[in-house]
Homo-oligomer: A and B are copies of this chain.
Amino acid sequence: MELLKNKILQDGQVIGGNVLKVDSFLNHQIDVQLFNEIGKEFKERFKHKEVTKILTIEASGIGIACIAAQYFNVPVVFAKKQQGSNMDKDNFQVEVFSFTKNKSYNVSVSKKYISSEDKILIIDDFLANANAASGLIDIVNQGEAEVVGVGIVIEKGFQNGRKFIEEKNVQLESLAIIESMEKNNIIFKN
């Protein structure tokens, strides 16, 4: 997706060799017009799949999933990282390690919002080692629903995420795949 790649080249900052900072348009400030183009592109990539629900994980995935959901005409469910007093106790749960926060946390989705009839598209901002995506696939499996695909905005192609997702026989579509990155030099695959 050229628009996205250009935005990454223009505004992205590589920090310490492994962190790509895109907080000016993706995960702190949000460029809603860009998100609309991202949503359309996800629809295009998964146009032959029946989707009943989009699943993402708080916080950065929510905006992308909501805008994309308009093109699929389905609800969004976002997995929660913390337990609030207004949450169900009856949840699907999985432990996920966050690279950027450098800790593990429990991720949960109420059992009410995934059923065995659901065909679920998982959407997230980044794919690195597929910790979050694998966790979400696990949650969908706990609900005996079908994962119809994983849609990622930015994939770090030099990490192992793709391997883990494809081993599960799940269609993975990343809108920008980074082959390598260092300060002032981001190279995309293709």
Binding site for B on A (CB under 8 A): 15, 19-21, 23-25, 27-33, 35-36, 58-59, 62-63, 65-67, 69-70, 73-78, 80, 82, 84-88, 98-102, 109-110, 112-113
- Known contacts A28-B77, A75-B29; is-contact A23 B63 (Cβ 8 Å): no
Instruction: Give 4 closest A-B pairs by Cβ, nearest first.
Output: A58-B59, A63-B66, A30-B76, A84-B100
CB distance from A146 to the nearest CB of B (A): 18
Flag if B82 contacts A101 (CB, 8 Å).
yes
Q: Which residues of B contact A62 (CB under 8 A)?
A: 30, 59, 62-63, 66
Q: Which residues of B contact A110 (CB under 8 A)?
A: 23, 28-29
Flag if B86 contacts A29 (CB, 8 Å).
no
Contact of A77 among B30, B36, B66, B82 (CB under 8 A): B30
The complex places the Cα of A35 from the Cα of B70 at a distance, in Å, of 10
Flag if A76 contacts B29 (CB, 8 Å).
yes
Flag if B15 contacts A75 (CB, 8 Å).
no
The complex places the Cα of A86 from the Cα of B28 at a distance, in Å, of 10
Taking the full assembly, how many copies of this chain does it contain? 2
Specify the chain B residue showing the minimal Cβ separation from A98: B84
Q: Looking at chain A's contact residues, is the secondary structure mostly helix, strand, loop, or mixed? A: mixed
Contact of A69 among B30, B86, B87, B98 (CB under 8 A): B30
Contact of A32 among B69, B98, B102, B109 (CB under 8 A): B69
CB distance from A75 to the nearest CB of B (A): 6
Q: Which residues of B contact A100 (CB under 8 A)?
A: 84-86
12 further A-B contacts with Cβ under 8 Å, apart from A30-B78, A62-B63, A66-B67, are A21-B86, A28-B77, A28-B87, A29-B110, A30-B76, A32-B66, A32-B70, A32-B74, A62-B66, A63-B66, A63-B78, A82-B101
